[in-house]
Structure 1
Amino acid sequence: MKVAMLSKALVVGAYHSKLAELAALPDVDLAAIVPPAWRDERGEIRLELAKPIGPYQLIVTPIRFNGSFHLHYYPQFDRLLEQLKPDIVHIDEEPYNLATWLALRAARRVGARTLFFSWQNLNRRYPFPFSAIERQVLSQADICLAGNQAARQVWRAKGYRGPIEVIPQFGVDPTEFSPIDSPRADRFVIGYAGRLITDKGLDLLLRALARLTGSWCAVILGSGPERERLGVLAQQLNIQTRVDFKAWLPSAQLPAFYRALDVLVLPSRSQRNWQEQFGRTLVEAMACGVPVVGSTCGEIPNVIGDAGLIFPEEDAAALSAQLQRLQQDAALRQRLAQRGRQRVLDHFTQAQVARRTVDVYRRLMRIS
């Protein structure tokens, strides 16, 4: 079966191992269609070619309105589908986006079956034309892939009648994201990786750090509009010499970043129109044998399971207590590191994501 996958997420090179796993499965002829770059709060993320391409095609195509989540689209996508003649078009986009609607129309013109992917874990209403786009996609797409159970419930509530399969599309390659025994720093090292935006709760993390005793330091990896304010807050809390802000790294360098940590924290906070939808850095750190601490926001507790520590969102004292607990208990850190690695191997590898996704493709091929 010939599959064309459209995905801006694939500008990140670490995700290409999923493509290789998909293409290695029997009867899968895969072409991944990606933009040359994507812009978000961290700036422009250019397409990373972290490893040799194959046994799939990687097709780079122009993008319009780059950085606009709802309005971006690919002007040459129709022509590409006419050339590829796929059996299935896998649209790695939310159903209310212009790119999804245009890709769905192009797929129907070449007679391909379609599926879209969604992380949307809140039942949100969108203004016209996005509400109309959403209705059209929900009425025409053959299958929905949901990134979490809440997304399944959202799309059922919004009237989608087709099959919904819950398959988070963020897996990791456990051979790249793996533990390595190395000399530890004298200080307890706390880390965060991701966008520096209000939703991620970095101000809460800094306030929790200010309560810690003993020898510790923190590394905050990423960029975004909150960077300056967070730097000022660190000074106000008198922890600026212990907190190191670093620019975002290419995905190939992330395993080394995680391995240098004693704990990774994801302190996300719920917003009126957003909750944490997965927490990719959690599974990457867990794969590297790093204990994780996360808030109760959205999908975080379900991703962590029993392999890390949880605290109530917006509770700096509770977060600080969990960090202090890990700082003082090396045996607990070791147990959580082992559990986290095993949880990734059991649930979150690229190979598992690929196998389950191809099962959906085969189901699609049986739809008349």
Structure 2
Amino acid sequence: MRILILGLQGDDRLCRCISAAGMDVTAFLAKRVDLGDFGHIVEAEPDFDMPYRLRSGPVWPLRPYPYSRWTCGLAHTIQLARPQVVLYTGEPSELAGAQSLLMVRRLVPDARLGVYVFENIAREWRGKLRWLRGRAERAVLAQLDFAACSSQGAVGRLVSLGLPQQRCRVVYPEVDAQLFQPADATATRQALGLDDAVVIGYVGRIVWEKGLDVLAEAFAGLSQQYRLLLVGSGDYLPKLQAQMQSLGIAERVRHVPSVPLEQVPRHMSAMDMMVLPSRSIPTWQEQYGRVLVQAMLCQIPVIGSDCGAIPEVIGEAGLVFPEGSSDALCDAMRWLGEEAHLRQSIGHKGYDRAIQTFVNTYRNSMVPWLKEAADMPLRNPSSGRREMSEP
């Protein structure tokens, strides 16, 4: 079976997994694009042909990425791949998604078109250039044959927009259990001056919607034996630091700027618990919470707000509090902090859940779903019979 994977940013792990299942995989991505808070400037690797074909093309504009479109190479790659199934790894409202999927529909009318999406809330595409995203989304949804979704919330959103439930499948983003496992954090704790403290941690972007002001306020209610370890960077950091000074907790907080992925397990293992206190905003809810799974694989107990997909990810293997409630978060952190056996028990439950649910998801869920998609009837079989020249 011939598969074409499209997306502004590549997913080498996904492509290799699908290829290992015996499928002929071609991937096409942006040669260079600015993903902003989600990765900044990303550049594609040089083209290669094994174990799958990788091709890339220039996009314009480089930012904001939802408005990027390929300027050349797309039609040639579609003709090279001759796909039976196409998966765009991004939202249907991205202009590159609309451009690429609609071009496939014209050049290969019988191909099954799909997306791998994270967005989990209703959006109103009004004002400035946002109407373009609404137009792109409507055009893609009219042609879409199937969807892989990062959460039940993402499924619900697509169903509310008209995609039949049976054409949607939850495929949790895969987390590497070889990388994320318990590590000896003695040296890390000593270097950060944590030693015998009870360490509460956070890993991720330091932005307002992550609810770090709630975490700071909750932490202020804990005794002197507790320390707060923040790993990450973002434009909210100055305001957060000012709040921590005002609360009188700055001396008990350690901040480590963003570290390479391979260093994250060592920092997570230095924590006694990890918190993801995200809050909902009009344009976003927590779409997955990958750091929760990473911490669970490191056997670190997790606490999360009830924002978006967090309760779905944690399940019964951690603690969930109402988003925005610093009192509830403080109580949860104190409870775990005072009960070492409870931390150990929840850590083991989290590890078991992560192994069973979030590891090897591409092999166990995505590959079978792509095979099913190949046999689906087209939703709109009369569409897209015209040829389109390369942009």
Deviations 1:254-297 (A, max 9, x none): 22221221111100111223221111110111111111100011
User: Does 2:29 correspond to 1:30?
Assistant: no
User: Does 2:68 correspond to 1:72?
Assistant: yes
> Equivalent of 1:102, from 99, 102, 105?
99
| Partner Cα separation in structure 2 for residue 221 and residue 63 of structure 1 | 32
Q: Post-superposition shift, 1:105?
A: 1.8
Q: Post-superposition shift, 1:23?
A: 2.1
- After TM superposition, the structure 1 stretch with the greater mean CA deviation from structure 2, 320-329 or 146-155, is 146-155
> What CA RMSD, in Å, does the superposition of the two structures yield over aligned residues?
2.3
**Residue correspondence of structure 1 range 5-24 to structure 2 within 5 A:** 5-10=5-10, 16-24=12-20
- Between structure 1 and structure 2, the one with the greater Rg is 2
Unaligned runs of 5+ in 1: none
What residue is the counterpart of 2:381 in the other structure?
none
What residue is the counterpart of 1:304 in the other structure?
314
Tell me if the contact between 2:276 and 2:305 (Cα under 8 Å) persists in the aligned partners: yes
Q: Post-superposition shift, 1:165?
A: 2.6
Give aligned pairs, total: 360
Tell me if the contact between 1:190 and 1:262 (Cα under 8 Å) persists in the aligned partners: yes
Q: Post-superposition shift, 1:315?
A: 0.8
Q: Post-superposition shift, 1:246?
A: 2.1
Q: TM-score, normalised by structure 1?
A: 0.90
| Partner Cα separation in structure 2 for residue 328 and residue 357 of structure 1 | 41
Q: Post-superposition shift, 1:163?
A: 4.0
Deviations 1:234-263 (A, max 9, x none): 111111122222221222222222122111
- Relative to structure 1, the CA distance from residue 54 to residue 267 in structure 2 (aligned partners, 3 Å threshold; closer, same or farther) is farther
Q: Which amino acid aligns with 2:373?
A: L
Q: Post-superposition shift, 1:65?
A: 2.3
**Residue correspondence of structure 1 range 56-205 to structure 2 within 5 A:** 56-75=52-71, 76-111=73-108, 112-127=111-126, 128-161=131-164, 163-180=166-183, 183=186, 185-205=195-215
Q: TM-score, normalised by structure 2?
A: 0.85
**Residue correspondence of structure 1 range 355-366 to structure 2 within 5 A:** 355-366=364-375
Q: Post-superposition shift, 1:107?
A: 1.6
- Relative to structure 1, the CA distance from residue 244 to residue 53 in structure 2 (aligned partners, 3 Å threshold; closer, same or farther) is farther
Percent identical among aligned pairs is 31
Tell me if the contact between 1:17 and 1:173 (Cα under 8 Å) persists in the aligned partners: no
| Partner Cα separation in structure 1 for residue 169 and residue 259 of structure 2 | 30
Q: Post-superposition shift, 1:328?
A: 1.1
SS of equivalent residue, structure 1 residue 275: coil
- Relative to structure 1, the CA distance from residue 290 to residue 90 in structure 2 (aligned partners, 3 Å threshold; closer, same or farther) is same
What residue is the counterpart of 1:40 in the other structure?
36
Tell me if the contact between 2:5 and 2:15 (Cα under 8 Å) persists in the aligned partners: no
Q: Post-superposition shift, 1:162?
A: 7.3
| Partner Cα separation in structure 2 for residue 7 and residue 190 of structure 1 | 36
- Relative to structure 1, the CA distance from residue 77 to residue 244 in structure 2 (aligned partners, 3 Å threshold; closer, same or farther) is farther
SS of equivalent residue, structure 2 residue 66: coil
Q: Post-superposition shift, 1:176?
A: 1.4
Deviations 1:73-96 (A, max 9, x none): 232322222223222221011111
- Relative to structure 1, the CA distance from residue 335 to residue 259 in structure 2 (aligned partners, 3 Å threshold; closer, same or farther) is same
